[in-house]
Amino acid sequence: MKEKIIRASITLFEQRGFSSTSVQDIVDLIGATKGTFYYYFKSKEQLLMDIHREYISDLLRRQEVILENGDWSSGQKLSAMVDMLISDIRKNGPSARVFFRDIRHLSEKNIRIITEDRDRFRLNFEEIIRKGAESGEFRKDIRPDMAAFGILGLANFSYNWFDPEGEVNPEELAVIYSVMILEGIVARN
């Protein structure tokens, strides 16, 4: 039941946003009552927090795996992470959109908790870029912090428009974006 509520709410939060989705809407979708909702969740915000926590901790876990792969170059790791983000749209697109858009409806305290994890995720990107630059694999003059933000923006924006069942599939898009990040778009000879 709890799981059913979470799934239904992700669907609705994605479509209408957190504050435009009422608890009534959620329980209507699964044929339950408001009483039941509040049996499982202390508040609507707590449900949102649960969604956030699950989303970001899952992402961090998978990022960890990539980071610890000793065989890969920095570029390969970066590509793997971009692939991870984009491939994830298929399964977790709705969660992700809720994550990006509705964080502000958490309480101050919860925002801090989530932001910490989100920052960790980003700093891991930054770290890889820094290492790649130090090792000579990447250009020495790039700013790892700005580059990390840029890559994340590029990859994450796909959640807003990319259709995993469309003409281009997620794996292909991941390759396209990895090349773009690593090589740029200017032609060479």
List interacting residues with DNA (CB under 7 A).
1, 19-25, 32-40, 42-45
Query: Which is closer to DNA, CB of 42 or CB of 61?
Result: 42
Query: Which is closer to its own copies, CB of 14 or CB of 55?
Result: 14
Q: In 3-state terms, what secondary structure has residue 166? A: coil
Out of 7, 29, 137, 169, point to the residue binding its own copies (CB under 8 A). 137
Give every CB contact of residue 174 below 8 A, 6+ residues apart in sequence.
Answer: 79, 82, 83, 86, 87
- Minimum Å gap between C-beta 89 and its own copies is 13
CA angle 156, 159, 165 (to 5 degrees): 135
CB 62 within 8 A of CB 169: no
Query: Which is closer to its own copies, CB of 68 or CB of 161?
Result: 161
CA–CA distances in Å: residue 7 to residues 12, 47, 93, 94, 157: 9, 11, 12, 10, 23
Query: Which is closer to its own copies, CB of 63 or CB of 144?
Result: 144
Site for its own copies contains 19 (CB under 8 A)? yes
Instruction: For residues 41 and 25, give the distance between their C-alpha atoms in angstroms, rounded to a whole number.
Output: 15
- Minimum Å gap between C-beta 168 and its own copies is 7
Residue whose entry in the numeric block shows the structure tokens 């590509």? 79
How many residues appear in the chain? 189
Out of 105, 124, 130, 170, point to the residue binding its own copies (CB under 8 A). 105
104 binds, among its own copies, DNA, none (CB under 5 to 8 A by kind): its own copies
- Residues interacting with its own copies, by CB under 8 A? 16-17, 19-20, 75, 101, 104-105, 129, 132, 136-140, 142-143, 146-147, 149-158, 160-162, 168, 173, 176-177, 180-188
